[in-house]
Amino acid sequence: VVMTRTTRGPVLLGDRAITARRANADAFVSVHLNAYPDGVNPYRARNGTNTYFFFDQAEPLARAVQRGLVRQIGLPDQGINYDNLAVVRQSWMPAILCEGMFLMIPEQEAALRDESFQKRYATGIADGLEEYFRSLAGRQ
């Protein structure tokens, strides 16, 4: 694992992909928390866990990590989504962006402060990565 950010300070989106390329990473996972735009009532809108990808080569990774996140976090499965996001389109390796939950929902924000939830979020990603790389090993 190579962390692109280890402090609260900002890291430019382009620099994150550069770090992954320099490390010769096999996959790139960007961990995020979702939010709704102004004017959307978070109690009426759908919420849950979802994962984004840009290149087709990343779709199997997105599916595997999404399954791991849903199993571990237990929020509704919003599935995987294609999107033209800077952080997932700038690398040659499979790259995904995970939106584990909605930060603006008080119960979900409170869960983020809980170390056991943080561990489940990380475990969901790790489970998905393991499933993805095992599937690649099975193809050879």
Contact present, 87 and 11 (Cβ < 8 Å): no
Residue 13: which pLDDT band, with cuts at 50, 70 and 90?
A: confident
Whether 111 has a pLDDT exceeding 70, the answer reads yes
Tell me which of 43-47, 48-52, 96-100 is least confident: 43-47
Q: Hey, what's the torsion of the CAs at 104, 45, 30, 96, to 10 degrees?
A: 180
Residue 97: which pLDDT band, with cuts at 50, 70 and 90?
A: very high
pLDDT value of position 30: 94
pTM for the predicted model, two decimal places? 0.91
Average pLDDT over residues 64-75: 96
Name which residue leads in pLDDT, 43 or 117: 117
pLDDT value of position 83: 95
Burial class (CB in 10 A: 0-12, 13-18, 19+), 54: buried
